[in-house]
């Protein structure tokens, strides 16, 4: 016991006395034992403490001027970091100061003369802590050929320059190593000396500064204790079996003791194998087609020393034949009387069951008691086939590169009507996306039941094109389950339960359920159709995102428009299939307002749209019916030829006689034929059409060049076209001439240059027209008078034929297109000979009858 105490004490004394020799002289040569002083040219400044002190130390500062003469107005002062501590007249000054902070404190002595300051001298005082004892000393060497590195904890900060020295002793010699990493928290030093495995070493860390020194506890070790081997080089090889592996690694010669650990990349827990004394090892029972991470670590001595870092190797195990049985479900739907659709659905195997990557699925159909199986291949997890209406044995297998899984068997049965469904199926909401489903066994054939299938589907997904269902298979002993796969809150689900009779599904028992629900957020869209005795109300489903659960009922509200009373309520409990409702006993001619709501177990929705309805009265309805009946009857009668003849004869008896009288052609009138026989020429000057001739002025004399007169029966027609302009007193007119296609001969008219011989020629033409008109027979009563009142406004009075002033004739004249000078085109009644050119005509207004 005494020896155990003496050895460490002797080592400490040895380290203490040799520390100064290894520290390269850490004591300053100008260090004053009892104070610090600075001697300057102009004066001296002293402090009664050492140059390094700890916080809380009181020091006395003094400044003494040398024998120099200064102005009597100058003062001597001591400053601390530019802050004045004391100032006096004279040649010396002294003050006390307490050091409260860490770091450098700079004191100066100055002469202050008026506003000028002159530096005399100064001293610096450092404030800090003595070093703490170094703790947690440790040494490590990476690899057998490396150099050791020692680290330690320095303790609190010293705030002043502190030196750390490692003193290494092998029992004979002492080696000192000065720290090079000047970290404030931790110390680290690489020992530049080659150690051997046979010696025992002692390490002490010595720390020192101006305020003191400290030594760590001695650390004794052998090289085998501090060497950390390099990580081994690892290689994993597969054996003949897909689940057996061999590990091969190479490490340093002295590292013969290893350990192995491995895990799937998807897992967290490690499987560890200890005490492996060779450079190869075999593992068994790994999962096929799984990525693993393997690690190996080694050390030199089985009980002493440090483990190397883990070397890592990742690889995937080979595939194996699938072992899982597919979970298959099916649905049957009739196409016609001879064929049916069979839709198969199955769940993919888990990774542990697939034993590899599933490449395809093989589906076989075998008609019971008929022929052999027919195989189909698909890469999907569903399959649909149209087949004859027979019972089938269907198998489905999953295939990977190593083989196929055991076949899952489904037997379809067209006579499932004899297989009863489960009883008393119920669905209770549990919240958080789960529903509790329970049922009772069927009433009979319970001995043949080998399980149940619970299937569920969103009620709105059911209407889309063949959505894959979600289902779970249970053993026959289970009469309840909690479904949570793809279950959402505020959504209604159709839940179906089947009993499996030796793998044949019986009849279904269904119920609707939900995990959690609310009152619908909107009402249904309603439509009204007034009918004879009431109103037909129809509606659409509320959008799925607004139903908020399972709709259990609809309410239709009806009230008279001007009524303030409570509305009549029509409750509809069949909310799943009913989409219309007929309301009777409504008053005709009365206005009604209708609206509608939907309800879940959580409450009633807001109102939907509102409709105003009014039934027509009986009289209005009778008129509509009679009118429609007459129209239909008329169409039917007119479509038959004998009926049309009878109807035409009846209508002819009731229509006036003039209705059938033909309208004669005016060209066939007697007076029109008489005019056609007249030979001569008729030319009407435009000046005769002026309404007021009293103001007519003598026009200029115009030369008329030689014309020609017609010698055969062909005639030249001239049509006068008049247009009336609103807001003007006179009539604008223009002439349009047309000739026949046959060639005609013309003779020259007499020509003169004075124009006197023709100044009465035009009135003569008008008189010829009048004479011919008097000789004509009276026109029929339905022809217009050829001389209209309109001509009196611009024709000479002497050439107008006598007219019959009767009211009837005047009325006919207004509508008749036949007149001497109408406002429309003049019919071809008059015959003219020759061509009238006004280039050389000399017009004289005195020749017109006034």
- The residue among 687 and 671 whose pLDDT is bigger is 671
Q: Which two tokens stand for residue 277?
A: 């004394």
- Determine the pLDDT at residue 7: 37
Distance CA 328, CA 341 (A): 16
Distance CA 66, CA 40 (A): 9
**188 and 135 Cβ atoms separated by less than 8 Å:** no
- The residue among 311 and 460 whose pLDDT is bigger is 311
- Determine the pLDDT at residue 722: 33
pLDDT band for 337, please (50, 70, 90 cuts): confident
**512 and 549 Cβ atoms separated by less than 8 Å:** no
- Determine the pLDDT at residue 208: 92
- The residue among 410 and 757 whose pLDDT is bigger is 410
- Determine the pLDDT at residue 620: 59
**What DSSP letter does each residue of 396-428 carry, written as one string?**
EEEEETTEEPPPEEEE--TTGGGSPPPEEEEEE
Range with lowest mean pLDDT among 152-166, 443-457, 472-486, 592-606: 443-457
3-state DSSP call for residue 80?
Answer: strand
Mean pLDDT over residues 672-685, rounded?
A: 53
Distance CA 453, CA 498 (A): 5
Mean pLDDT over residues 840-849, rounded?
A: 47
* Strand arrangement, sheet containing 423-429: 423-429, 435-440, 480-483
pTM over 0.85: no
- The residue among 548 and 805 whose pLDDT is bigger is 548
Query: For residue 566, what are the contacts with CB-CB under 8 A and spacing of at least 6?
Result: 559
**What DSSP letter does each residue of 807-828 carry, written as one string?**
HHHHHHHHH-S--SS-SSPPPS
Long-range contacts of 757-763 (CB under 8 A, 24+ apart): 758/704, 758/841, 758/842, 759/842, 759/844, 759/846, 759/847, 760/847, 762/683, 762/684, 762/685, 762/688, 762/847, 762/848, 763/796, 763/798, 763/799, 763/847, 763/848, 763/849
Question: Is the confidence at residue 121, as pLDDT, over 80?
Answer: yes
Question: Is the confidence at residue 755, as pLDDT, over 70?
Answer: no
Question: Is the confidence at residue 22, as pLDDT, over 70?
Answer: no
pLDDT band for 466, please (50, 70, 90 cuts): low
Beta bridge partners of 517: none
- Determine the pLDDT at residue 214: 93
- What are the tens digits of pLDDT across the range 634-644? 777 777 777 77
- The residue among 344 and 615 whose pLDDT is bigger is 344
Distance CA 35, CA 53 (A): 11
Secondary structure in 3-state letters for 580-636: EEEEECCCECCEEEEEEEEEECCEECCCCCCEEEEECCHHHHHHHHHHHHHHHHHHH
Distance CA 473, CA 498 (A): 10
CA distances from 427 to 4, 243, 435, 458, 470 (A): 80, 46, 6, 14, 16
Query: For residue 157, what are the contacts with CB-CB under 8 A and spacing of at least 6?
Result: 129, 184
Range with lowest mean pLDDT among 314-323, 616-625, 673-682, 782-791: 782-791
- Determine the pLDDT at residue 775: 45
Q: What is the mean pLDDT of the chain?
A: 75
- Determine the pLDDT at residue 32: 39
Range with lowest mean pLDDT among 445-449, 508-512, 529-533, 773-777: 773-777
Question: Is the confidence at residue 621, as pLDDT, over 90?
Answer: no
- What are the tens digits of pLDDT across the range 419-436? 889 999 999 999 889 999
Question: Is the confidence at residue 799, as pLDDT, over 60?
Answer: no
**506 and 419 Cβ atoms separated by less than 8 Å:** yes
pLDDT band for 364, please (50, 70, 90 cuts): very high
End-to-end CA, the chain: 176
- What are the tens digits of pLDDT across the range 31-86? 434 578 888 888 889 999 888 999 999 999 999 888 666 666 788 888 998 888 88
Beta bridge partners of 398: 361
Distance CA 184, CA 261 (A): 39
Residue of 326, 338, 327, 328 lying closest to 386 (CA atoms) = 338
Range with lowest mean pLDDT among 49-58, 109-118, 549-558, 709-718: 709-718
Q: Which two tokens stand for residue 433?
A: 């996306």
pLDDT band for 628, please (50, 70, 90 cuts): confident
**473 and 457 Cβ atoms separated by less than 8 Å:** no
3-state DSSP call for residue 379?
Answer: coil
Mean pLDDT over residues 384-393, rounded?
A: 88
Residue of 763, 755, 759, 757 lying closest to 704 (CA atoms) = 755
Residue of 556, 577, 554, 435 lying closest to 492 (CA atoms) = 435
Distance CA 487, CA 432 (A): 9
pLDDT band for 372, please (50, 70, 90 cuts): confident
Distance CA 344, CA 505 (A): 13
Residue of 376, 255, 260, 348 lying closest to 305 (CA atoms) = 255
- The residue among 482 and 789 whose pLDDT is bigger is 482
Mean pLDDT over residues 292-310, rounded?
A: 89
- Determine the pLDDT at residue 802: 40
**What percent of the chain has a predicted confidence (pLDDT) above 90?**
25
Mean pLDDT over residues 312-331, rounded?
A: 89
- Determine the pLDDT at residue 444: 82
Distance CA 327, CA 329 (A): 7
- Determine the pLDDT at residue 808: 39
pLDDT band for 217, please (50, 70, 90 cuts): very high
Range with lowest mean pLDDT among 79-93, 543-557, 655-669, 732-746: 732-746
- Determine the pLDDT at residue 425: 94
**340 and 386 Cβ atoms separated by less than 8 Å:** yes
Name, of 243-257, 732-746, 794-808, the range with top average pLDDT. 243-257
Distance CA 372, CA 366 (A): 6
Task: Give the up-direction half-sphere exposure of residue 270: CA atoms within 13 A in the CB hemisphere.
Answer: 11
- Determine the pLDDT at residue 416: 63
Secondary structure in 3-state letters for 526-577: EEEEECCCEEEEEECCCCHHHHCCCCCEEEEEEEECCCCCCCEEEEECCCCC
Range with lowest mean pLDDT among 28-42, 76-90, 524-538, 767-781: 767-781
pLDDT band for 413, please (50, 70, 90 cuts): confident
- What are the tens digits of pLDDT across the range 554-613? 999 999 888 888 898 999 888 788 888 998 888 888 888 999 999 999 999 998 898 888
Mean pLDDT over residues 823-847, rounded?
A: 45
pLDDT band for 618, please (50, 70, 90 cuts): low
- Determine the pLDDT at residue 677: 59
**450 and 503 Cβ atoms separated by less than 8 Å:** yes
**Residue 832 burial by CB count (10 A; 0-12/13-18/19+): exposed, middle or buried?**
buried
Question: Is the confidence at residue 804, as pLDDT, over 70?
Answer: no
Mean pLDDT over residues 804-809, rounded?
A: 41
Residue of 436, 425, 431, 428 lying closest to 496 (CA atoms) = 425
Name the helix (H) or strand (E) containing 20.
helix 2-22
Question: Is the confidence at residue 245, as pLDDT, over 70?
Answer: yes
- What are the tens digits of pLDDT across the range 185-216? 888 888 888 888 888 999 999 999 999 999 99
Widest CA span in the chain: 184
């Amino acid at each position: 016991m005494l020896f155990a105490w003496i050895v460490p004490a002797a080592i400490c004394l040895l380290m203490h006395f040799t520390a100064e020799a290894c520290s390269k002289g850490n004591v300053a040569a100008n260090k004053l034992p009892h104070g610090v002083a600075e001697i300057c040219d102009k004066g001296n400044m002293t402090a009664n403490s050492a140059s390094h002190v700890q916080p809380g130390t009181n020091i006395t500062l003094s400044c003494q001027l040398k024998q120099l003469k200064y102005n009597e107005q100058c003062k001597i002062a001591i400053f601390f970091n530019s802050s004045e501590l004391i100032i006096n007249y004279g040649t010396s000054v002294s003050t006390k100061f307490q050091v409260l902070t860490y770091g450098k404190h700079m004191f100066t002595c100055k002469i202050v003369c008026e506003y000028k300051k002159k530096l005399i001298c100064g001293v610096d005082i450092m404030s800090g802590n003595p070093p703490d004892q170094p703790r947690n000393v440790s040494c490590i060497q990476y690899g057998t050929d490396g150099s050791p590195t020692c680290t330690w904890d320095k303790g609190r900060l010293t705030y002043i320059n502190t030196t750390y020295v490692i003193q290494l002793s092998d029992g004979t010699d002492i080696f000192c190593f000065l720290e090079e990493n000047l970290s404030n928290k931790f110390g680290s030093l690489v020992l530049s000396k080659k150690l051997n495995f046979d010696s025992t070493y002692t390490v002490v860390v010595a720390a020192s500064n101006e305020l003191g020194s400290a030594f760590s506890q001695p650390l004794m070790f052998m090289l085998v204790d501090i060497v950390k081997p390099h990580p081994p080089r690892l290689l994993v090889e597969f054996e003949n079996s897909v689940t057996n592996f061999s590990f091969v690694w190479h490490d340093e010669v002295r590292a013969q003791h290893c350990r192995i650990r491995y895990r799937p990349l998807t897992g967290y827990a490690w499987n560890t194998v200890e005490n492996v004394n060779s450079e190869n090892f075999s593992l068994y029972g790994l999962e096929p087609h799984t990525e693993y991470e393997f690690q190996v670590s080694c050390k030199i001595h089985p009980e002493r020393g440090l483990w190397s870092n883990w070397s890592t190797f990742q690889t995937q195990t080979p595939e194996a034949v699938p072992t899982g049985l597919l979970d298959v479900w099916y649905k049957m739907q009739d196409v016609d009387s001879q064929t049916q659709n069979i839709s198969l659905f199955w769940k993919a195997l888990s990774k542990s069951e697939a034993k590899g990557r599933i490449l395809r699925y093989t589906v076989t159909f075998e008609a019971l008691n008929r022929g052999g199986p027919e195989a189909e291949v698909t890469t999907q997890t569903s399959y649909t086939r149209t087949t004859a209406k027979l019972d089938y044995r269907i198998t489905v297998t999953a295939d990977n590169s190593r083989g196929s899984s055991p076949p899952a068997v489904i037997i379809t049965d067209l006579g499932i009507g004899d297989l009863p469904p489960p009883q008393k199926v119920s669905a209770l909401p549990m919240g958080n996306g789960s529903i509790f489903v329970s049922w009772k066994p069927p009433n009979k054939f319970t001995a043949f039941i080998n399980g149940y299938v619970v299937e569920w589907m969103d009620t709105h997904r059911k209407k889309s094109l063949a959505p894959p269902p979600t289902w779970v298979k249970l053993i026959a002993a289970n009469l309840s389950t909690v479904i949570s796969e793809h279950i959402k809150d505020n959504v209604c689900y159709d839940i179906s339960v089947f009993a499996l009779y030796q793998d044949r599904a019986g009849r279904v028992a269904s119920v609707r359920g939900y995990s959690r629900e609310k009152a619908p957020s909107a009402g249904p869209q309603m439509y009204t159709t007034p009918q004879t005795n009431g109103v037909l109300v129809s509606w659409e489903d509320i959008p799925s995102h607004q139903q908020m659960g399972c709709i259990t009922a609809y309410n239709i509200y009806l009230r008279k428009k001007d009524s303030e009373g409570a509305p009549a309520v029509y409750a509809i409990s069949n909310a799943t299939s009913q989409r219309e409702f007929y309301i009777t006993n409504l008053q005709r001619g009365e206005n009604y307002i209708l609206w509608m709501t939907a309800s879940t177990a959580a409450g009633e929705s807001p109102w939907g749209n509102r409709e105003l309805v009014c039934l027509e009265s009986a009289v209005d309805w009778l008129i509509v019916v009679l009118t429609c009946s007459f129209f239909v009857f008329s169409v039917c009668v007119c479509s038959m030829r004998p009926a049309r003849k009878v109807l035409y004869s009846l209508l002819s008896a009731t229509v006036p006689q003039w209705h059938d009288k033909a309208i004669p052609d005016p060209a066939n009138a007697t007076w029109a034929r008489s005019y056609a026989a007249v030979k001569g020429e008729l030319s009407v000057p435009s000046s005769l059409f002026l309404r007021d001739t009293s103001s007519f002025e003598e026009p200029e004399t115009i030369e008329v060049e030689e014309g020609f007169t017609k010698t055969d029966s062909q005639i030249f027609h001239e049509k006068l076209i008049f247009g009336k302009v609103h807001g003007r007193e006179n009539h604008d007119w223009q002439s349009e001439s047309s000739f026949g296609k046959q060639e005609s001969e013309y003779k020259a008219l007499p020509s003169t240059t004075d124009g006197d011989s023709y100044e009465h020629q035009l009135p003569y033409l008008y008189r010829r027209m009048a004479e011919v008109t008097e000789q004509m027979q009276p026109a029929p009563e339905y022809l217009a008078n050829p001389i209209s009142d309109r001509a009196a406004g611009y024709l000479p009075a002497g050439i107008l034929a006598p007219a019959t002033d009767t009211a009837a004739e005047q009325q006919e004249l207004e509508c008749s297109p036949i007149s001497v000078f109408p406002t429309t085109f003049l019919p071809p009644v008059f015959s003219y000979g020759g061509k009238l050119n006004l280039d050389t005509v000399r017009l004289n207004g005195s020749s017109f009858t006034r």
